[in-house]
Structure 1
Amino acid sequence: MAGTDRHRGAPIREAATEGGSQPGQEKPSRKHRATKKNSRKRSPKPPARKRAYVCSVRLNDEEKALLTAAASAARTSLPAFLARSGIAAAQDLDNTVAAIAGRRETVSELFSARRDLKRVGVNLNQAVKVLNSGEWPAELENILAATERAVQRVQKATDQLLQQN
Structure 2
Amino acid sequence: MRQPSCRMNDDEYQLLARAASVCRMSVANFLAHAALKAARDLDRTAAEIAAEREVLNELFAVRRHLGHIGNNLNQVAKATNAGAEVPHTAAVLDAVHRAAHRVDDFTQHYLDSGTHAG
Indicate the TM-score class for this superposition, using the shorter chain for normalisation. Answer: 0.5 to 0.7
- C-alpha deviations, 1:44-86, integer Å up to 9, x for none? xxxxxx22x533x222222211211222343433223212211
Match in the other structure for 2:4? 54
Distance 1:161 1:120 in 2: 23
Distance 2:79 2:38 in 1: 56
Match in the other structure for 1:109? 58
Q: Which has a greater percent of helix?
A: 2
Paired amino acid for 1:54 = P
Of 82, 98, 114, 2:31 maps to: 82
The unaligned stretches of length 5 or more in structure 1 are 1-49
How well do the aligned residues superpose, as a CA RMSD in angstroms?
3.4
SS at 1:58 equivalent: coil
Residue 133 (structure 1) shift: 1.4
Distance 2:105 2:77 in 1: 28
Paired amino acid for 1:158 = F
Match in the other structure for 1:64? 13
Distance 1:135 1:74 in 2: 64
Q: TM-score, normalised by structure 2?
A: 0.68
Q: TM-score, normalised by structure 1?
A: 0.51
Distance 1:92 1:157 in 2: 32
Range 107-116 or range 93-102, more displaced: 93-102
Aligned length: 107
The unaligned stretches of length 5 or more in structure 2 are none
Contact 1:107–1:157 (Cα < 8 Å) also in 2: no
Contact 2:63–2:103 (Cα < 8 Å) also in 1: no
From the CA coordinates, give the structure whose radius of gyration is larger: 1
